Amino acid sequence: AQSVAQPEDQVNVAEGNPLTVKCTYSVSGNPYLFWYVQYPNRGLQFLLKYITGDNLVKGSYGFEAEFNKSQTSFHLKKPSALVSDSALYFCAVRDTGFQKLVFGTGTRLLVSP
């Protein structure tokens, strides 16, 4: 079965510094990978996805993600963090057979002023 792992429960970064939120995946076949963000008591918002093509994917709000096939990783990055980026971030992979998504456990990002 397809799965993703988010090894960090929380990531702390100072405003203005670069941030990385890690995700590794396990799939059979070519992966369809996604990043979502969730603010408190809200639904999930789509940030970006990797289907095929360039390994560096650009998304919403200045976020980008790097697909690395040899390391089976899809880390989320941003060159300069904002306090407003503080939220819960989920990595997800499309399951085989149908386009339902399997989610990681989430990583809480805290950006300090």
Partner 1 sequence: DGGITQSPKYLFRKEGQNVTLSCEQNLNHDAMYWYRQDPGQGLRLIYYSQIVNDFQKGDIAEGYSVSREKKESFPLTVTSAQKNPTAFYLCASSSSGRAATGELFFGEGSRLTVL
Minimal distance, residue 78 CB to partner 1, in Å: 20
Q: By C-alpha distance, which of 6, 21, 25 is closest to 59?
A: 21
Cβ proximity to partner 1: between 12 and 105 the closer is 105
Q: Which stretch binds partner 1 (CB under 8 A): 17-25, 39-47, 53-61, 72-80?
A: 39-47
> 73, 60, 1, 86: which is closest to 33 by C-alpha?
73
Q: How far is the CB of 60 from partner 1 (least distance, A)?
A: 12
> In 10 A of CB 63, how many CB atoms?
20
Residue in 74, 106, 109, 111 binding partner 1, rule: CB under 8 A: 106
Q: Which window, 13-21, 33-41, 65-73, 76-84, contacts partner 1 (CB under 8 A)? A: 33-41
| Phi/psi-derived region of residue 105, left when phi > 0, alpha when psi is between -120 and 50, beta in every other case | alpha
Q: Report residue 42 CA to chain centroid gap.
A: 17
Q: Is 70 one of the binding residues for partner 1 (CB under 8 A)? A: no
Q: What are phi and psi of 4, to 5 degrees?
A: -130, 150
Applying CB under 8 A, the residues found at the interface with partner 1 are 9, 32, 34, 36, 41-46, 49, 51, 90, 94, 98-106
